[in-house]
Chain A
Amino acid sequence: MVVRLLLGLIFVLVAFAVVRALAPARAALAGIVLGAGAVVLVALNRQAITSVEFWAGLCGFAAILSALLIVIHPNPMVSVLFLIVNLFSVALFYLILNAQFLAAIQVIVYAGAIMVLFLFVVMLLNLKAEEGLRGGGGPQRYGAVVLGGLFAGLMFHALRNRGPRPYFEPGSFDSGFGTARELGRLLFTRYLFAFEAASLLLIAAMIGAVILAKRRIR
């Protein structure tokens, strides 16, 4: 069932990308295609609506759709917004995978701090939508799309030929897994050196950012 869901998802996304590329001004048309795809998906798996698989599939749908829009959309600000949507869907995946602390810091660090920085820079530079997204473009552009397709195929192949693994029930694990307490214990015992090194990295990045963005160094 998961495979069917995923295949439907990929089909709808490809249809969406094609519609957007052919008729860039008609966002509504792309929306209709998407909505029809979603209705068909739900009709195909009517019992699935109460299962975790369905909601995980919806999350994956949101994640991949927003990722596509980051790349496709000509306006950098809209890309920032869709990256935020993407980060939220990945945070939901973390919740499904029982990594509640990771989900929380994903929202705080990524969506709350890093993306605000991006938003701030886009607003500060007052970037407008680019013209050259579709026209122009060298061979690199088409080559990238082809190679990306090949890369995705390679990953798909690797996943298909992975050894059989047990089916797991989401959210049915011992209580300690994924909590801040356990992660903190690991960070301050086994990975203490890496943790301290990370703090050094952060301070280096901080000083570097200040010096780079400073108007003039005296």
Chain B
Amino acid sequence: MDPTVTRVLAEASVKIALFFGVVLTVIAYMTWVERRVSAWIQDRRGPNRVGPFGLLQPLADGIKFLFKEAITPPHVYRPVYLLAPALIFIPALVTFSVVPIGPTMSLFGRRIPLLIADVDNGILIILAFASMGVYGVALAGWSSNNKYSLMGGLRSSAQLISYELAMGIAIVGVLMATGSLRLTDIVTHQITNGWNALWQLPGFLIFVTAAFAETNRLPFDLPEAETELVAGYHTEYSGMRFSMFYMAEYANMITASALATTLYLGGYHVPGLAALGLPENAAAIVQVLAFCLKVAMFLFVFVWVRWTLPRFRYDQLMNLGWKGLLPIALAHVLWVSFLVLGGRA
């Protein structure tokens, strides 16, 4: 094979392995964080037996899930039932590949951009894969052949479509300011012109609200509302297949947090870092750490909200999506377009 092709392939594989290794580890530890923070909020102790501060708990959970019997109930529609966990997990991970986690670094005499794929239509790819997430939930609900699961799947497909709309329109504000669909352009634009969250606050809030709904987290976790639907779409799943749903929820959270950071909080940008005059690689590492910090902040908010707010009723959810967020998002786009015309960006 052509040596440059080999090099590009090797670089890409190393990056993919690193990215996904890190994301999967963070997913495992998010379960621990969730339980510790919920315990802290509710004045309990939380998992603290396995290792120091219970830090080895995710490992123990993983082993438990692996060794549990994966039961396939006789009444399910088997091909789709087996496909659904993968369908919900893969889009969440793939979306992460277009998010830039840092600027370009110089390693081994090569300039390496710190993202897997710098695509021209980055935002569109994110929207495309975000809209794929609904199939996993809806198909899991349908193939389980159980009325609670079916209702969970129905709810989630309606919910995801309505909130995706508000989310997409909120993103339009960012696109208009940047004039590009490429995520690296959006970050560099924020570095020179200030973070989007500062002057597009309504869009930012709509994006975060819609992200909560897209990830099926409380207060929008109606598809799996355990008090009404038993466990919604994953009632019939057990063992490792169930843990795929569990992991997908956290993968979705991480991706949504990374997106919110990139689109609205300046991505890896650290204000005032250029004035320090650090060498390039050191500055890049600081910026990657800043990106991780911002994402961690969002993740904490996700957990915090979950243990603070109660669940919406279904009609309230639909009203908020269609009568609340969507008109506000449209008005926001109008406002941003006036600002852009007036030379704000």
Q: Do chains A and B touch in the complex (CB under 8 A)?
A: yes
Binding site for B on A (CB under 8 A): 77-78, 81, 84, 100-101, 104-105, 107-108, 111-113, 116-117, 119-120, 122-124, 126, 179-180
Number of A-B contacts (CB under 8 A): 68
Residues of A within 8 A of B257 (CB): none
Asked if B158 lies at the interface with its beta carbon under 8 angstroms from chain A, I say yes
Which of B77, B127, B138, B181 lies in contact with A119, CB distance below 8 A?
Answer: B138
Stretch at the interface among B16-24, B109-117, B129-137, B206-214: B129-137
Contact residues, B125-155 vs A (CB, 8 A): 125, 127-128, 130-132, 134-135, 138-139, 141-142, 150, 153-154
Cβ–Cβ contact A123 & B154, under 8 A:
yes
Residues of A within 8 A of B293 (CB): none
Which of B124, B139, B158 lies in contact with A101, CB distance below 8 A?
Answer: B124
Asked if B80 lies at the interface with its beta carbon under 8 angstroms from chain A, I say yes
Asked if B308 lies at the interface with its beta carbon under 8 angstroms from chain A, I say no
Asked if B157 lies at the interface with its beta carbon under 8 angstroms from chain A, I say yes
Asked if B281 lies at the interface with its beta carbon under 8 angstroms from chain A, I say no
Asked if B50 lies at the interface with its beta carbon under 8 angstroms from chain A, I say no
Cβ–Cβ contact B132 & A111, under 8 A:
yes
Q: How far is the CA of A84 from the CA of B83 in the complex (A)?
A: 14
Cβ–Cβ contact B142 & A120, under 8 A:
no
Residues of A within 8 A of B121 (CB): 100-101, 104, 180
Between A100, A123, A179, the greatest number of chain B beta carbons within 10 A of the residue's beta carbon is seen for: A123
Cβ–Cβ contact A119 & B135, under 8 A:
yes
Cβ–Cβ contact B127 & A123, under 8 A:
no
Cβ–Cβ contact A123 & B153, under 8 A:
yes
Cβ–Cβ contact A113 & B157, under 8 A:
no
Asked if B341 lies at the interface with its beta carbon under 8 angstroms from chain A, I say no
Residues of B within 8 A of A113 (CB): 131, 161
- A104-B121, A108-B131 are contacts. A123–B150 as well, Cβ < 8 Å? yes
- A77-B80, A100-B121, A124-B154 are contacts. A111–B181 as well, Cβ < 8 Å? no
Cβ–Cβ contact B154 & A104, under 8 A:
no
Residues of B within 8 A of A100 (CB): 120-121
Residue in A closest to B128 when the chains form the complex, CB atoms: A107
Cβ–Cβ contact A116 & B124, under 8 A:
no
Residues of B within 8 A of A117 (CB): 161
| Known A107-B131, A126-B150; 15 more pairs at CB < 8 Å | A101-B121, A104-B127, A108-B128, A111-B132, A112-B130, A112-B131, A112-B164, A116-B160, A117-B161, A119-B138, A120-B138, A120-B157, A122-B142, A123-B153, A124-B154
- A104-B124, A108-B124, A108-B127 are contacts. A116–B134 as well, Cβ < 8 Å? yes
Residue in B closest to A104 when the chains form the complex, CB atoms: B124
Residue in B closest to A117 when the chains form the complex, CB atoms: B161
- A77-B80, A113-B131, A113-B161 are contacts. A120–B124 as well, Cβ < 8 Å? no
For the complex, would chain A's binding face be called helix, strand, loop or mixed by DSSP majority? helix
Cβ–Cβ contact B141 & A123, under 8 A:
yes
Q: How far is the CA of A180 from the CA of B160 in the complex (A)?
A: 25
B157-171 near A? 1/0 per residue, CB < 8 Å: 110110010000000
CB A210 to nearest CB in B, in angstroms, measures 11
Cβ–Cβ contact B124 & A111, under 8 A:
no
Cβ–Cβ contact A119 & B157, under 8 A:
yes
Cβ–Cβ contact B153 & A116, under 8 A:
no
Residues of A within 8 A of B150 (CB): 123, 126
- A108-B124, A119-B138, A179-B120 are contacts. A81–B161 as well, Cβ < 8 Å? no
Cβ–Cβ contact A180 & B128, under 8 A:
no
Q: How far is the CA of A122 from the CA of B153 in the complex (A)?
A: 12
Residues of B within 8 A of A104 (CB): 121, 124-125, 127-128
Cβ–Cβ contact A77 & B142, under 8 A:
yes
A-B pairs, top 3 by smallest CB distance, nearest first, are A112-B131, A104-B124, A107-B128
Residue in A closest to B122 when the chains form the complex, CB atoms: A104
Which of B80, B120, B128, B154 lies in contact with A112, CB distance below 8 A?
Answer: B128
Residue in A closest to B180 when the chains form the complex, CB atoms: A181
Residues of A within 8 A of B125 (CB): 104
Which of A111, A122, A126, A179 lies in contact with B131, CB distance below 8 A?
Answer: A111
CB A157 to nearest CB in B, in angstroms, measures 37
Residues of B within 8 A of A84 (CB): 135
Residue in B closest to A106 when the chains form the complex, CB atoms: B128
19 contacts between A and B (CB under 8 A): A77-B77, A77-B80, A84-B135, A104-B124, A107-B131, A108-B124, A108-B127, A111-B132, A112-B134, A112-B164, A116-B131, A116-B135, A116-B160, A119-B138, A123-B138, A123-B150, A123-B154, A124-B154, A180-B181
CB B147 to nearest CB in A, in angstroms, measures 9
B29-56 near A? 1/0 per residue, CB < 8 Å: 0000000000000000000000000000
